[in-house]
Chain A
Amino acid sequence: MVGQQGVRYTISLIATHFGDVVAKVCECLIRRGSLSFMEVVRFTELHKGQVKDCLLVLIQHNCVQAFSIPKTVGMGGATKPVTLYMAIFDNIIHRMRFSKFLQIVKEHLGNQCAELLEGFLQHGRLTFELLYDRASGLSGGKAKRDDVLATFNKLVHAHYLERCPKGDPFLESDANDEVSFVRKRTRSGEKTWTIEQEAIIAAAPSDADRFSGILNLMMDTEADIKHIKNDSSLEVSAGNKRKHEALEAEEEIQNTINTIDVLWRANYEKFVQCLKKKTCVANVRSRFGLDAAIVLEAMIESSDHQNARTMNSVSSSMSSIIESVRGKPGGLSMTLEHVRTILEQLECQVCTEETGALYTVGLKDIIENCQNDEVESLVFKKYGKESYRIFRLLIKMGQLVPMDQISDKTFLEKKEAQKILCKLWKDDYLDMEKVNLNVRGRSEVFLWKVNKKVLWELVLNDMFHTALNISQKIAQVNEEFLLSNADVQKLERLRRARLILESSLLKLDDAIMLFHDF
């Protein structure tokens, strides 16, 4: 669950990108959960037309997903489908990472692919036809359809682009499930899914469809052209003067999101996965050297994970590791023996399958290592060397530790250790438990531990708060920049300040990803 500051930050992102009115609708959905069109109108006190426009913008940019559930109406108990709109928190947060996504594609597939991707990042969902129009416009009419299609297919096959999910999937309700009130259901007896999670699953296209690309341009084009009028209404024009009747407004949303056109979008999951790989490889490089980084990268690339959050470990056979390693710069000279040694260093588990030995490396441990580094560095800067030592001990032990043991292991006087522990406890870095023992004349013993779950949430909340602060400062610097166009020295200072702020925000986002997305 994301804390208050995370919510505030998402809303500020939407306000910066789409304006305050869209942000108001988005805030309403984030804070209150999935709502029907009329509920959004009631809670935001906006005009129906405005709500419709805002929802369309948010849907167009993958920040909101619609879904329908059956609802009982009238005395006879008849049911009729009602559409709810849910905000997708993660997709909103990804908006601050677009420059990183572009960089990934630029490095992997080159500038042309990055330019096409940029179209999706700017406009959200596009048909191939609209994408081609954009490419053609940018090149002054020089771009050839076949070339654009080839580049597009390259992006789809590399999973950087995906087919959009269904616009408004219908969720069947269980017989005794009053969906409008109970928003949790149990599937196959064990895992509890929220209705929102079910909607995401129901909306997702099959894997084959998702990354199939476009084989026959003619067939797809016909469908595109038929509905091109609809597509152009996806973008909301400021002077939109439609009737503001609820029904018509809702119908219009339905028409737009249920288009039969094949819409495509950037596949954020893939990008987050790439960034997770990058983080893990960088961590291993700093701890075990360049060769270990090459081996880990090879292992991750030879696995077929699609979701960064569930990619907790990767497994590969020795032959596919070697093949992948040899394809990398610096990997050609690595011997089998050397790779095997590195796998041991990375504490890989080996299990023997019918097809041969499989090596598994825990990415979860690597990410945990990065998370620990991040929080330990905070403790060091905020509280000093001794606190850092105590904190690292407690992280390492991962359980309740008595005061005496802490002071012994950290070589600190008992009084000093106690003072530090109390300070860290007061600031919610530690948990404390008092135990009555009545031994050797001392009745009370204090036990301490790091409650990672709680502390990590706290740190993440502060990180979102900081991201909000930095964004606010960037806006202020930009304003000052516009006002002080005469003073060259001041302009230079402001330019430098903006550079520091922007690069810090990107780095801070790396840290946010460690705690939120990986």
Chain B
Amino acid sequence: MQNISAVIMMSGTGKLPQKRKVPALPENEKKLYDLIWSKETLGIWTADMKKETGLSNNAVTKALKSLQSKGFIKDVVNIHNKAKKIYMAVEFEPSKEISGGTWYSEGSLDLEFITILREQCRLHVERLKVATLENVWQFIRDSKVFYIDFSLQQIKEIMSAMVLDKELEELISSGVGDFFHIRAGRECYRSLKGRDGPKEGFFSAVPCGVCPRINECSPDGIISPNTCVYYQKWLGLDY
């Protein structure tokens, strides 16, 4: 929780510093610091530093250590490759490409936090029967369950994923009945509790629908309906 709150407060595209301090530094460190600073919110990988500055392995390692101890640079986790250490000037916050964005913490999705937020969204929708995005957003803010503020966009991302999972459905308000508090024609959400998740399909209900061997199965083949174990089990003939 602690971690994600820090991340949430950052901008998704990385924070830009107002002004650059130009410290007095030994030559190698200065060269390296300038390079790292120039990469802004993207940061730079050690191997690329060596390539771009022409410095030796040793020199780079030494300079990095010194810059870090002086508080000019920091290392950040890269979600694309956690083993690949990236350095960035302390004035910058990692860009979405590096940190993974809003819902990441220490380079991983904060699943526990996302689950709690989803649950809260669902509760608010169910309480109102039908709710707009703004309704849910407002409720989450007022509920004070979270000590951080979410943007409307962040709540929309969560709700959209819930629509994909068929926990919620997106509807157009008719302005009457359950929709009376929402202006007709506005987009809104309703809980699918009781009929949530995927519908059982006619095809997927039969073993062949999900059978990994269907392409090898033929009437007279080694794999065939007559010898199929999935069928025997399905039909209760595997005694």
Check A412–B235 contact: CB distance below 8 A: no
Q: What are the residues of chain A within 8 A of B228 when measuring CB–CB?
A: 469, 473
The residues of A that contact B94 with a CB separation of less than 8 Å are none
Are the C-beta atoms of A496 and B236 separated by less than 8 Å? yes
Could you tell me if B97 and A440 are in contact, using CB atoms closer than 8 angstroms?
yes
CB distance from A254 to the nearest CB of B (A): 37
Residues of B within 8 A of A392 (CB): 164, 166
B85 proximal to A (CB < 8 A)? no
User: 1/0 per residue B67-98: CB within 8 Å of A?
Assistant: 00000000000011000000000000000010
Verify A462–B103 contact, CB threshold 8 A: no
**Interface residue tally for chain A (C-beta within 8 Å):** 54
A308-327 Cβ-contact flags toward B at 8 Å (1 or 0): 00000000000000000000
A337 CA to B174 CA, complexed, in Å:
11
B206 touches A470 (CB 8 A): yes
Distance in angstroms between the alpha carbons of A425 and B101 in the assembled complex: 26
Which of B109, B114, B206 meets A508, CB within 8 Å? B206
Which of B20-28, B58-66, B144-152, B209-217 lies on the face that meets chain A? B209-217
Q: How many whole Å from A359's CB to the nearest CB in chain B? A: 15
Closest Cβ of chain A to B219, distance in Å, is 6
Q: Is the CB of A410 within 8 A of B164?
A: yes
Which residues of B have CB within 8 Å of A468? 219
Let me know if A459 and B195 touch, CB within 8 A. no
* CB of A20 closer than 8 Å to a CB of B: no
A446 at interface (Cβ–Cβ under 8 A)?
no
Question: Which label, helix, strand, loop or mixed, suits the secondary structure of the A interface?
Answer: helix
In the complex, what residues of A have CB within 8 A of residue B175's CB? 341
A504-B205 in contact (CB<8A):
yes
Q: Contacts A389-B165, A414-B80, A508-B202 known; A493 to B176 CB distance under 8 Å?
A: no
Q: Complex: how many Å from CA A465 to CA B218?
A: 9
Q: Please tell me if the beta carbons of B184 and A344 are within 8 angstroms of each other in the complex.
A: yes
On whether the beta carbons of B235 and A286 are closer than 8 Å, the reply is no
Distance in Å from the Cβ of A460 to the closest Cβ of chain B? 10
> Which residues of the partner chain A approach B42 to less than 8 Å between Cβ atoms?
440-441
Bound complex: CA A380 to CA B196 (Å) = 13
Measured between beta carbons, the chain A residues less than 8 angstroms from B205 are: 504, 507
A468, B228: Cα distance in complex, Å: 14
Instruction: Say yes or no for B161: interface residue by CB 8 A criterion.
Output: yes
Measured between alpha carbons, how far is A437 from B109 in the docked complex, in Å? 27
Contact A459 B198 (CB under 8 A): no
Indicate which residue in B101, B164, B209 contacts A389 across the interface (CB closer than 8 Å): B164
> How far is B157's CA from A408's CA once the two chains are assembled, in angstroms?
9
> Please, which residues of chain B bring their CB within 8 A of the CB of A424?
none
- A376 CA to B199 CA, complexed, in Å: 8
B237 within 8 A of A: yes
Given B100, B177, B198, which contacts A376 in the complex, CB threshold below 8 Å? B198
How many whole Å from A415's CB to the nearest CB in chain B? 9
B231 at interface (Cβ–Cβ under 8 A)? yes
Which residues of A432-452 are within 8 A (CB) of B? 440-441
- Residues of chain A within 8 A (CB-CB) of B209 are 378, 381, 462, 466
A473-B226 contact, Cβ under 8 Å, with A341-B174, A410-B161, A508-B203: yes
Residues in chain B near residue A462, CB distance under 8 A: 203, 208-209, 214
A344 touches B206 (CB 8 A): no
Q: How far is the CB of B187 from chain A (nearest CB, A)?
A: 12
Which of A376, A493, A497, A507 makes the CB contact (< 8 A) with B202? A507
Interface residues on B, range: 35 or more
A281 CB to nearest B CB, Å: 16
Contact B114 A345 (CB under 8 A): no
| B53 within 8 Å of A (CB atoms) | no
Chain B residues contacting A409 (CB-CB under 8 Å) are: 157, 160-161, 164
Say yes or no: A374 contacts B203, CB within 8 Å: yes
State whether A493 and B236 are in contact (beta carbons under 8 Å apart), knowing that A469-B208, A469-B225 are contacts in the complex.
yes
- Taking CB atoms and an 8 Å cut-off, the chain B residues in 104-121 that contact chain A are 108-109, 114
Q: Are B199 and A373 in contact (CB under 8 A)?
A: yes
Q: Determine if B206 and A497 form an interchain contact, defined as CB atoms under 8 angstroms apart.
A: no
| Interface members, chain B 163-205 (any A CB < 8 Å) | 164-166, 171-172, 174-177, 184, 195, 197-205
Residues of A contacting B204 in the complex (Cβ-Cβ under 8 angstroms): 374, 377-378, 380-382
Complex-state Cα separation, A80 to B239, whole angstroms = 66
By beta carbon, the residue of chain B nearest A473 is B225
**In whole angstroms, how far apart are the Cα atoms of A496 and B165 in the complex?**
35
Chain B proximity of A16: nearest CB distance (Å): 13
Query: Is A350's CB within 8 Å of the partner chain B?
Result: no
Nearest A residue (CB) for B226: A476
Question: Which chain A residues in 332-346 approach chain B with CB under 8 Å?
Answer: 337, 341, 344-345
Knowing A380-B198, A463-B203 touch, does A472 contact B225 (C-beta < 8 A)? yes
User: Which residue of chain B lies nearest to A480 when distances are taken between CB atoms in the complex?
Assistant: B237
Residue of A nearest to B170 (CB): A396
Q: Do B109 and A411 touch (CB < 8 A)?
A: yes
Closest to A497 in B: B235
A472 touches B157 (CB 8 A): no
Write out the residue numbers on chain A whose beta carbons fall within 8 Å of the beta carbon of B176: 337, 341
Query: Are B172 and A347 within 8 A (Cβ)?
Result: yes
Q: A396-B164, A414-B79 are in contact. List 13 more A-B contacts (CB 8 A).
A: A286-B195, A344-B174, A345-B171, A347-B172, A374-B201, A376-B201, A378-B204, A380-B197, A380-B204, A392-B164, A409-B160, A466-B209, A469-B208
A to B CB contacts below 8 Å, 10 in the list: A341-B175, A341-B176, A374-B203, A376-B199, A376-B201, A440-B42, A466-B214, A473-B226, A500-B234, A507-B202
The 5 A-B residue pairs with the shortest CB-CB distance in the complex, in nearest-first order = A377-B201, A497-B235, A466-B208, A511-B202, A469-B225
